[in-house]
Structure 1
Amino acid sequence: MKKVYKYFSQLPIRWKITIWSSLVILILFVAYNSVQYYVMRTWMLEQEERNIQEKMREIQAYYSEQPFFIGRSQVINSSGFLEKANEANELIRIMDREGNLLVAVATNLPRELMITPVESKDLEHVKVNGKHYLVHRKPVMTNGFIGYIEVIRDLKNFERLQGLIFLVTWSAGAGAVLLSGVGGMLIAKQLLAPISALTYTMKRIKMRGFKERVHQDKNQKDEIADLSNVFNEMMDAVELSFQKQKQFVEDASHELRTPISILEGHLKLLDRWGKNDPEVLEESLRASQQEVERLKMLVYELLELTRLESDRLEIAEDLTEPIPIVEEVIKKFSMLYPNFTLHFENEIQGNFQVSMAERHLEQILIILLDNAVKYSNDSKSVDIHTKRVNENFHISIKDYGIGIPFEDLEKIFDRFYRVDKARSREKGGQGLGLSIAKRMVQNYSGEITADSLEGEWTQITVILKGVFEEDKSL
């Protein structure tokens, strides 16, 4: 049994569908044909029994209802009537009460059956010499005779018809099972065609890369079409993910190469001349320390971004009041950059909270304000604006610096992307801050957007889900 199960489990789905459909049809036909055959056989037997009982009543009536005397001799001489009543493959005989045969009439039956005693009380089926007979015995009483009438009918026509019905029924059943198997194969082939196409596409993807997609019929709207759509969408996402990963590796390699090259250059310089030259030694050590700090910051930001993009950010369920955090971050930046003016305008009335952890909101604000200060250029003014729009909390940070070209607005949230790479490197940026901020906002189901006018201003807006409570004192 285990071998059969193992063999069946290894068959292709097409053959499994064919075998199962044929097996189900076979079981249904066996059950239906068995019931049909049994019903027809029972009905034909009942017909034979009713016919022989009707014949018996007719013969009994002939002897019992005669107005004149009927004795033993009259019964023996009544063979003419019995011959008229007798049918093909039938025996009619009359015996006295001791079982002695008086008269017998038979058609197409062996003569020895006429004198063969048959043990039958009323109506039953018997086998004589391998043949099937229906025997009916009833008493007959006249004004001069008491005995038995026996009607014996050969059921060979019934057996022949029964065999023909059996043959036709089961031949039709076998043909139906065979046709169902062929139909099952055709249906399985038709149904599995999209899956075969999906398998073929997977093989092509394995050989040629992620550009291949499953061909789809626009008119097809079934479950397999949905599977193909999901597969194509998944491959789009996988291809995009691999492209981003490739770009990430290339960008990270490029960003790491510069500080490593600088460190290598200073180490070679120290090795050649810095051992005995305090001035060269001090300069190289200072530059190397700066590059190490840059490397440390870059690695930290890469790890943070990787953690965010792998959905391992711990999402806090507690609500946070944002205004005190905004004010605290503005206070810290005012101390760090005393020559900058940070304007804060709050339009929200009443108490409210946002669905974000306090530390994450603070980190986002630090990233945005740090960028605003770095790229303010000659302008020393930054505007911070908070307001409520429907049930959302909006905070905008606007600087009046170098601005961003329109075609670069959609790219500034990409990893390592800088509008002006040379100037950005001088300012110490790694090009990861906005990527980290965007991913963090998205993890809290928020939204972050950018707007800018090149050479004049840049504004970053963060939208978070809020829980507001109206100020009842107003």
Structure 2
Amino acid sequence: MMKIAKLYGHLPIRWKLAIWSSIVLFVLFVTYNSLQYYVLRTWMLDQEERNIQEKMKEIHAYFSDKPYRIDRTEIINSSRFLERASEMNELIRIFDKDGNLVVAVAAPGVARELIVTPIYNKDLEHFQMNGKHYLVHRTPFITPSFIGYIEIVRDLKNYERLRGLIFLVNVSAGAGAILLSGIGGMLIAKQLLRPIAALTETIRRIKSRGLKERVAHNINNRDEISELTSMFNGMMDDVESSFQKQKQFVEDASHELRTPISILEGHLKLLNRWGKNDPAVLEESLEASQQEVERLKKLVLELLELTRLESDRFEIAEEQIHPTPVIENIIQKMRVVHPDFEFTFANEANIENVQVKMAERHMEQLLIILLDNAIKYSGESKKMDVAIQHLKDSGEVAIEVKDYGIGIPKEEIQHIFDRFYRVDKARSRDKGGHGLGLSIAKRMVNNYSGKIFASSEEGSWTTFTIILKEAKDNF
């Protein structure tokens, strides 16, 4: 049994489908044919029994219609009627009350031994003799001059022949159907598994050629296999995109890390050669090295923050806050740090009582990122506008941060939330940016099921808009 199970486990799916379809069809055919055979056999036997009972009624009616007394002599003289009444393969005989045979009429097809062999059994029953099937019907026969019984025996060879034919037809039809089902199962399995075979082949090509391979499929199909193929292609698109982003991330991170490391290496070599004995060179190198270390520290912290936001370890705060006081507090801090900038806050809808679902520290971090980014790219302008409004129709809160600086080209807007992406890479590096702040902001907003987007006019202004869901009181 274990060997059979092991062998079955090694079979291809198409063979398993063919085997199981054959087994299921076999069970169905056996059940159906058995039921059909039983019904037909029962019906034919019932017909035979009805016919022999009708024959018995006919014989009784013949003797009942005679106007004179029925005695032994009259019964013997009725043999001509009994010969006419008997059918092929049928025996009719009359016994007296002592079981003595009075008259017997047998068709040519009936075995002779039945004529001289009395039957003392039930009124209507089946019996076997010499491998043949017989049906016997016995009823009492009583007249004023005679007491006995009438017996009709029918050879059921026609019934047996028809029954055997039906059995043979059922078996042959079942066997043919099972054979055809096996062949059909193989063909159907091959047809159904063709997309899976294509999927398997595509996976092999992906392993040897790369992530650009896809499974060809008809987009008009809506079955489960087509849905699986579509999901696989979509998954591979995501994997390829993620791989490309990861590759780009590694390249960008390597590039960002290479610059401060190269600067540190240069100053260390300078100190090692002659800077140790020159106080001016020593002080300059230490100061530059400290600046690069700070840059490295900030870059690593931003990378860790972004990784945390993109992982499952980021915990969504369950608290509700009023955004207006948080915004006012951050603006006040920015005014202290950047006294040369003008910050204005417009509470357009006076929504002090409206709350959003976000941790206060995350709201502060989000605003600092946007305001710091606006300050870096404000250009000659020193004006900054912050606004908040309540979108009552959609049950959302919108926060806008607008600067009047260098702006963003239209073709660049779709990339500004990518990691390490900077519109002006050279100027951004001079300003101390790494291109991670907006990526962190977008990931943070997404984690709270919000939206963030930017609009800009190059050389005039840039607006970042945050949309957060309003927190209900019954949250």
Name the TM-score, length of structure 1 as normaliser. 0.91
Identify the residue that residue 264 of structure 1 maps to in structure 2.
Answer: 265
For residues 69 and 373 of structure 2, the distance between their equivalents in structure 1, rounded to whole angstroms, comes to: 137
For residues 33 and 13 of structure 1, the distance between their equivalents in structure 2, rounded to whole angstroms, comes to: 29
Identify the residue that residue 154 of structure 2 maps to in structure 1.
Answer: 153
- In the TM superposition, residue 424 of structure 1 has moved relative to its aligned partner by 1.7
- In the TM superposition, residue 211 of structure 1 has moved relative to its aligned partner by 1.3
Identify the residue that residue 465 of structure 1 maps to in structure 2.
Answer: 469
For residues 311 and 14 of structure 1, the distance between their equivalents in structure 2, rounded to whole angstroms, comes to: 41
Code of the aligned partner of 1:47: Q
For residues 264 and 162 of structure 1, the distance between their equivalents in structure 2, rounded to whole angstroms, comes to: 102
Residue 250 of structure 1 pairs with residue 254 of structure 2: no
Identify the residue that residue 408 of structure 1 maps to in structure 2.
Answer: 412
Identify the residue that residue 55 of structure 1 maps to in structure 2.
Answer: 55
Pairing of 1:307-386 with structure 2 (within 5 A): 307-350=308-351, 351-386=353-388
Pairing of 1:205-220 with structure 2 (within 5 A): 205-220=206-221
Identify the residue that residue 169 of structure 2 maps to in structure 1.
Answer: 168
Code of the aligned partner of 1:430: H
* Residue aligned with 1:117, SS: coil
For residues 183 and 258 of structure 1, the distance between their equivalents in structure 2, rounded to whole angstroms, comes to: 68
Residue 102 of structure 1 pairs with residue 102 of structure 2: yes
Tell me the matched-pair count.
469
* Residue aligned with 2:386, SS: strand
Residue 451 of structure 1 pairs with residue 455 of structure 2: yes
* Residue aligned with 2:470, SS: strand
For residues 452 and 439 of structure 2, the distance between their equivalents in structure 1, rounded to whole angstroms, comes to: 11
- In the TM superposition, residue 123 of structure 1 has moved relative to its aligned partner by 1.7
- In the TM superposition, residue 430 of structure 1 has moved relative to its aligned partner by 1.3
| Alpha carbons of structure 1 residues 299 and 67: separation in structure 2 relative to 1, 3 Å | same
Q: Which moves more between the two structures, 332-341 or 395-404? A: 395-404
Identify the residue that residue 26 of structure 1 maps to in structure 2.
Answer: 26
| Alpha carbons of structure 1 residues 312 and 72: separation in structure 2 relative to 1, 3 Å | same
- In the TM superposition, residue 64 of structure 1 has moved relative to its aligned partner by 4.6
| Alpha carbons of structure 1 residues 280 and 126: separation in structure 2 relative to 1, 3 Å | same
* Residue aligned with 2:91, SS: strand
Post-superposition Cα deviations, 1:307-363, rounded to whole Å, max 9, x if no partner, equal 112253221122211222122212222222222222333222242222221111111
Residue 398 of structure 1 pairs with residue 402 of structure 2: yes
For residues 150 and 405 of structure 1, the distance between their equivalents in structure 2, rounded to whole angstroms, comes to: 113
Contact kept in structure 2, 1:63 and 1:142, CA below 8 Å: no
Contact kept in structure 2, 1:63 and 1:140, CA below 8 Å: no
Contact kept in structure 2, 1:64 and 1:141, CA below 8 Å: no
Identify the residue that residue 472 of structure 1 maps to in structure 2.
Answer: none
| Alpha carbons of structure 1 residues 462 and 71: separation in structure 2 relative to 1, 3 Å | closer
Code of the aligned partner of 2:98: E
For residues 63 and 466 of structure 2, the distance between their equivalents in structure 1, rounded to whole angstroms, comes to: 116
For residues 141 and 355 of structure 1, the distance between their equivalents in structure 2, rounded to whole angstroms, comes to: 105
Identify the residue that residue 84 of structure 2 maps to in structure 1.
Answer: 84
Contact kept in structure 2, 1:91 and 1:109, CA below 8 Å: yes
Aligned with residue 433 of structure 1, among 413, 434, 437: 437
* Residue aligned with 2:152, SS: strand
For residues 191 and 164 of structure 1, the distance between their equivalents in structure 2, rounded to whole angstroms, comes to: 39
Residue 41 of structure 1 pairs with residue 41 of structure 2: yes
Identify the residue that residue 228 of structure 1 maps to in structure 2.
Answer: 229
| Alpha carbons of structure 1 residues 158 and 323: separation in structure 2 relative to 1, 3 Å | same
Code of the aligned partner of 2:269: K
| Alpha carbons of structure 1 residues 61 and 468: separation in structure 2 relative to 1, 3 Å | closer
Post-superposition Cα deviations, 1:380-416, rounded to whole Å, max 9, x if no partner, equal 3322233334433233223333333332222222211
Code of the aligned partner of 1:462: I
Code of the aligned partner of 2:432: G
* Residue aligned with 1:243, SS: helix
Code of the aligned partner of 1:376: S
Contact kept in structure 2, 1:120 and 1:136, CA below 8 Å: no
Code of the aligned partner of 2:166: I
Q: Which moves more between the two structures, 320-329 or 445-454? A: 445-454
Contact kept in structure 2, 1:344 and 1:383, CA below 8 Å: yes
| Alpha carbons of structure 1 residues 360 and 72: separation in structure 2 relative to 1, 3 Å | same
Name the TM-score, length of structure 2 as normaliser. 0.91
- In the TM superposition, residue 7 of structure 1 has moved relative to its aligned partner by 4.2
| Alpha carbons of structure 1 residues 314 and 65: separation in structure 2 relative to 1, 3 Å | same
Residue 283 of structure 1 pairs with residue 284 of structure 2: yes
Pairwise CA RMSD: 2.4
Contact kept in structure 2, 1:64 and 1:142, CA below 8 Å: no
Code of the aligned partner of 1:29: F
For residues 135 and 172 of structure 2, the distance between their equivalents in structure 1, rounded to whole angstroms, comes to: 29
Code of the aligned partner of 2:127: V
For residues 240 and 344 of structure 2, the distance between their equivalents in structure 1, rounded to whole angstroms, comes to: 44
For residues 49 and 405 of structure 1, the distance between their equivalents in structure 2, rounded to whole angstroms, comes to: 100
Gaps of 5+ in 2: none
| Alpha carbons of structure 1 residues 110 and 457: separation in structure 2 relative to 1, 3 Å | closer
For residues 229 and 45 of structure 1, the distance between their equivalents in structure 2, rounded to whole angstroms, comes to: 61
* Residue aligned with 1:134, SS: strand
Code of the aligned partner of 1:158: Y
For residues 445 and 27 of structure 1, the distance between their equivalents in structure 2, rounded to whole angstroms, comes to: 55
- In the TM superposition, residue 143 of structure 1 has moved relative to its aligned partner by 4.1
Code of the aligned partner of 2:53: Q
| Alpha carbons of structure 1 residues 352 and 59: separation in structure 2 relative to 1, 3 Å | closer
| Alpha carbons of structure 1 residues 110 and 404: separation in structure 2 relative to 1, 3 Å | closer
* Residue aligned with 1:345, SS: strand
Q: Which moves more between the two structures, 2-11 or 236-245? A: 2-11
* Residue aligned with 2:411, SS: helix
Identify the residue that residue 130 of structure 1 maps to in structure 2.
Answer: 131
Code of the aligned partner of 2:378: S
For residues 428 and 301 of structure 2, the distance between their equivalents in structure 1, rounded to whole angstroms, comes to: 18
Post-superposition Cα deviations, 1:236-265, rounded to whole Å, max 9, x if no partner, equal 111111111110000001111111111111
* Residue aligned with 1:411, SS: coil
- In the TM superposition, residue 299 of structure 1 has moved relative to its aligned partner by 0.6
* Residue aligned with 1:37, SS: helix
Gaps of 5+ in 1: 470-474
For residues 427 and 226 of structure 1, the distance between their equivalents in structure 2, rounded to whole angstroms, comes to: 49
Post-superposition Cα deviations, 1:100-147, rounded to whole Å, max 9, x if no partner, equal 223322222232322123222422112222221112222323443333
Code of the aligned partner of 1:190: Q
- In the TM superposition, residue 156 of structure 1 has moved relative to its aligned partner by 1.1
Identify the residue that residue 298 of structure 1 maps to in structure 2.
Answer: 299
